[in-house]
C-alpha cells in the first residue's frame, strides 16, 4: 500500500519536474525569437548610425547616391521599392480575387484540387527562377510587343501618358512590377481562397435564393464578410514584394535615378543592397546601405503589423457571427 503511494508520489514529482523543464525550454525558444528580432533591429540601427548622423533624417528624402563622393540619400531606392510593389499589387490583387472566387464558387469539383495545388506550387518557385525567366524570356517579349503597344495606347493619354513613354527596353520599373505581381499572386490568391471558404454557406444560399447573380453574391456577401482577411492577404503579398531581391535585381535595370516613365530603369532597396554589399568596405557607404536596410525593415514591419491586426480583427468578427 505505502509503496504504491510512494510510487505515485515519485511519478508525480517526476512529472512535475518534466513539466517545469518543458515549460522552460519552450519559453526559451519563444524568447530566442524575440532576442533575434531585437538583435536585428539593434544591429541595423548601430550600423546605420554613422550615415544617419552624417545626413540626418533627410537621408530618406534625398535622391543622391554617389559612392565616389560619399553623398548618400535613400530616396531613389525607397521610391523604386514602393513603386514596383504598388504596380505588383495593382496587377496581382484583381487577378487573385478572380482566382480565389473561381476556386471557391465557380470551379467544378474535379478542377478544384489541381488548380489549388498549381497555385501553391507557383509560390514554391525560388525567386531567382523568376528573375531568370523575367530577364531572358519575359523582358524580350515585353520590350518587343507589349511596351510598344502600351506606348501607342496608354502613352497617348494626357497626364498618365508620361508613365508609358521612353525607350522600350523590356527591363525597367514596369517589368519589375509585373514579375513581382506573378510572384505575390499565389500568396494573395491562397489567402483569399481560405477566407472565402469560411463564408457561411447559409448566407450565400440565401442570396442565391433571392435571385442574386454570382457577381452580386461576391460583391455584396463574400467581400464584405471577408473584407479584413482580403486586405490582410494583400498586405502579406505587399510585404513579400517590398523585400524581394534577386528577381527584382535582374529586371529593374539598376539605374540610380528617379524617372517619371515606368519604362525607365530604377532600383529598389533590396536590389541596391544586393548589388553593392559585396563591394562596400566599412565606412559611410557601408553604413548608408545599412540605413537603407533599416528603411526597408521599417516599411515591411509597419505593413506586416497592419496585416496581422486586420487578420486578428477578422477572427474576432468570425467568432461573433457564426
Partner 1 sequence: MKFTLNKTLSVLLLSATVSFNASAAEITGAGSSFIYPVLSKWAEAYKAKTGNNVNYQSIGSGGGIKQINAKTVEFGATDDPVKADILKAKGQVQFPAIIGGVVPVVNIEGVKAGEIKLSADVLAKIFQGVIISWNDKRILALNPGVKIPANTITVVTRSDGSGTTAIFTNYLSKVSAAWQEEVGSGKTVVWPATSTVSGKGNEGVSANVNRIKNSIGYVEYAYAKKNNMTYVSLQNADGKFVLPDDKTFAAAASGTDWTKFPGMATFITNASGENAWPITGATFVVMYKNPSDKVKAKQALDFFNFALKEGKDMALNLDYVPMPDATVSYIEKTVFSEVNAK
Q: What is the contact surface with partner 1 in residues (CB under 8 A)? A: 65-68, 135-136, 139-140, 143, 167, 169-172, 249-250, 253-257, 259, 265, 267, 271, 274-276, 278-281
CB of 159 to partner 1, least distance (A): 22
Burial 71-110 (b: 16+ CB within 10 A, else e): ebbbbbbbbbbbbbbebbbebbbeebbebbbbbbeebeee
Cα(163)–Cα(260) distance, rounded to whole angstroms?
6
| Residues 130/143, Cβ–Cβ less than 8 Å | no
Nearer to partner 1, 223 or 259 (CB): 259
Tally of CA atoms within 13 A in the half-sphere of 49 that contains its CB: 6
Nearer to partner 1, 190 or 271 (CB): 271
CB of 293 to partner 1, least distance (A): 17
Distances (CA, A) of 293 to 63, 145, 192, 288, 319: 16, 36, 30, 9, 39
Task: Give the residue from 113, 151, 90, 134 showing the smallest Cα distance to 248.
Answer: 134
The residues with which 253 forms a beta bridge, in sequence order, are 266
Nearer to partner 1, 100 or 244 (CB): 244
The residues with which 71 forms a beta bridge, in sequence order, are 66
Task: Give the residue from 90, 60, 6, 67 showing the smallest Cα distance to 277.
Answer: 67
Cα(59)–Cα(237) distance, rounded to whole angstroms?
27
Nearer to partner 1, 104 or 287 (CB): 287
Q: What cell numbers appear for 42 in the block?
A: 539593434
Cα(136)–Cα(138) distance, rounded to whole angstroms?
6
Nearer to partner 1, 196 or 250 (CB): 250
CB of 249 to partner 1, least distance (A): 6
CB of 53 to partner 1, least distance (A): 23
CB of 147 to partner 1, least distance (A): 12
CB of 61 to partner 1, least distance (A): 18
Q: What cell numbers appear for 294 in the block?
A: 533599416
Nearer to partner 1, 209 or 278 (CB): 278
64 burial level (CB within 10 Å; 0-12, 13-18, 19+)? middle
CB of 254 to partner 1, least distance (A): 4
Residues recorded for the chain: 322
Nearer to partner 1, 71 or 227 (CB): 71
Nearer to partner 1, 103 or 139 (CB): 139
CB of 76 to partner 1, least distance (A): 11
Amino acid at each position: 500500500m505505502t509503496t504504491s503511494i510512494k510510487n505515485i508520489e515519485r511519478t508525480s514529482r517526476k512529472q512535475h519536474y518534466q513539466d517545469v523543464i518543458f515549460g522552460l525550454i519552450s519559453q526559451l525558444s519563444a524568447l530566442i525569437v524575440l532576442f533575434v528580432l531585437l538583435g536585428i533591429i539593434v544591429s541595423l540601427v548601430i550600423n546605420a548610425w554613422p550615415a544617419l548622423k552624417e545626413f540626418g533624417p533627410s537621408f530618406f528624402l534625398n535622391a543622391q547616391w554617389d559612392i565616389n563622393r560619399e553623398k548618400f540619400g535613400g530616396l531613389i531606392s525607397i521610391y523604386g521599392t514602393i513603386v514596383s510593389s504598388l504596380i505588383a499589387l495593382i496587377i496581382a490583387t484583381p487577378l487573385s480575387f478572380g482566382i480565389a472566387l473561381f476556386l471557391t464558387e465557380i470551379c467544378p469539383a474535379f478542377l478544384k484540387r489541381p488548380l489549388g495545388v498549381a497555385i501553391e506550387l507557383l509560390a514554391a518557385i525560388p525567386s531567382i527562377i523568376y528573375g531568370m525567366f523575367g530577364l531572358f524570356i519575359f523582358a524580350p517579349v515585353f520590350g518587343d510587343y507589349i511596351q510598344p503597344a502600351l506606348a501607342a495606347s496608354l502613352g497617348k493619354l494626357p497626364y498618365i501618358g508620361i508613365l508609358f513613354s521612353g525607350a522600350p527596353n523590356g527591363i525597367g520599373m514596369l517589368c519589375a512590377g509585373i514579375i513581382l505581381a506573378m510572384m505575390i499572386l499565389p500568396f494573395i490568391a491562397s489567402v483569399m481562397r481560405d477566407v472565402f471558404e469560411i463564408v457561411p454557406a447559409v448566407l450565400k444560399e440565401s442570396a442565391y435564393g433571392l435571385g442574386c447573380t454570382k457577381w452580386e453574391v461576391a460583391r455584396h456577401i463574400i467581400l464584405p464578410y471577408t473584407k479584413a482577411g482580403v486586405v490582410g492577404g494583400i498586405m502579406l503579398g505587399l510585404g513579400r514584394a517590398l523585400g524581394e531581391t534577386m528577381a527584382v535585381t535582374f529586371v529593374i535595370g539598376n539605374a540610380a535615378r528617379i524617372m517619371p516613365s515606368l519604362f525607365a530603369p530604377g532600383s529598389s532597396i533590396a536590389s541596391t543592397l544586393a548589388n553593392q554589399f559585396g563591394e562596400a568596405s566599412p565606412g559611410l557607404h557601408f553604413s548608408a546601405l545599412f540605413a537603407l536596410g533599416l528603411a526597408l525593415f521599417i516599411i515591411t514591419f509597419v505593413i506586416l503589423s497592419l496585416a496581422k491586426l486586420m487578420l486578428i480583427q477578422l477572427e474576432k468578427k468570425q467568432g461573433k457571427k457564426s
